[in-house]
Amino acid sequence: MSSVSPRQRKPVEYTNGKDCEPQPGDEQIGAFSRERLVAMDQRFVARVERAFETGDESREVAAAMNGANASRPR
């Protein structure tokens, strides 16, 4: 049997790394503006805080699930 398999492919150059040239559209980072992201974060935090207050969620369990410091209120 031959040492070179006909199924082996040549490696394809990686085109999405840090060292690659910018492509059209790269100047847009994400689909949301900073203001929109801040508003979404504020709504999320308010809902999680409400879950803590009503007892639907535990700060200790939340901290264990994602490693965040949920033992102190924001």
Q: Please, which pLDDT band fits residue 34 given cuts at 50, 70 and 90?
A: confident
Domain count, the chain: 1
Q: What is the pLDDT of residue 5?
A: 63
Rounded-to-integer distance, Cα 42 and Cα 39, Å = 5
Q: State which residues form the domain around 51.
A: 34-66
Say how many CA atoms lie within 13 Å of 16 toward its Cβ: 0
**pLDDT at 38 > cutoff 70:** yes
Q: What is the pLDDT of residue 10?
A: 75
Is 72 within a domain?
no
pLDDT tens digits for 41-63? Answer: 999 999 999 999 999 989 888 88
Average pLDDT along the chain: 77
Query: 9 lies in a domain?
Result: no
CA distance 72 to 70: 5
